Amino acid sequence: MKLLLCSASPRRRDLLSALGIEFVAAPSHIDESRRPGEPVLDYVRRMAREKARARLGFVALAADTVVVVGDEVLGKPSDRSDAARMLRLLSGIEHRVITAVCVGDRVTSVTTTVKFAPLSETQVRWLADSGDGDDKAGAYAVQGLAGAFVERIDGSFTNVVGLPLAETVAMLAEAGVELPWKD
């Protein structure tokens, strides 16, 4: 079965490509606004499900990742000052990274806890001004510059990058997607 990646994320493409999984990428263009009062887990699962709406002839894979501090959802920053605001919030604390993955009509979510070192204002500005976190939830890329300030990760590293591979590969196998390793 052919795989359709419903995402514009270069990180998700890179993760699947590194495993040798063949796919076609076609980003979904949907309203990604959180509904008033919508619980975080419901929101991220709804985003993944809406991105993966049925695509004939393909098994659709969609994912949505959010960074959560308390009950505040940090999506992609609107600009560099918003990125700096998010990085200040993350400075010195643990936060959750939640990714919902939808393959076909099945949705699962993975949560990873990340602990940032305390960041000085100079470090915050440097990270924000670098642009490394411009299009990333929480304004950072664990595999990028911000990785220098991550003290601890409890859970899936690839989840923090944007696609929890262990869970995704299991879902793809269940959906009949041909994987490069054959049993």
Q: Is residue 182 part of a domain?
A: no
Q: Read off the pLDDT of residues 16-72 as tens digits, 9 standing for 90 and up.
A: 999 999 999 988 888 889 999 999 999 999 998 888 875 667 899 999 999 999 989
Stated pTM of the model: 0.88
What percentage of the chain has pLDDT greater than the value 70? Answer: 98
Q: Is residue 179 part of a domain?
A: no
Assign residue 80 the CATH number of its domain. Answer: 3.90.950.10
pLDDT of residue 57: 72
Count: domains in the chain: 1
Q: Read off the pLDDT of residues 64-122 as tens digits, 9 standing for 90 and up.
A: 999 999 989 999 999 999 999 999 999 999 999 999 999 988 999 999 999 999 999 99
Give the confidence band of 149 by pLDDT, cuts at 50, 70, 90.
very high
Residue that wins the pLDDT comparison between 29 and 172: 172
SS3 breakdown of the chain: % helix, strand, coil, rounded to 5?
A: 35, 25, 40
pLDDT of residue 114: 98
Q: Is residue 183 part of a domain?
A: no
- Torsion-angle region of 69 (φ positive above 0: left; ψ -120 to 50: alpha; else: beta): beta
Q: In sequence order, what are the beta bridge partners of 113?
A: 96, 154
Q: What is the mean pLDDT of the chain?
A: 93
Contact (CB, 8 A) for 109 and 99: yes
**Per the residue annotation, which of 14, 64, 129, 183 is the catalytic one?**
64
- The boundaries of the domain holding residue 38 are 2-174
Active-site residue, 183 included:
no
**What's phi and psi for 4, nearest 5 deg?**
-115, 115
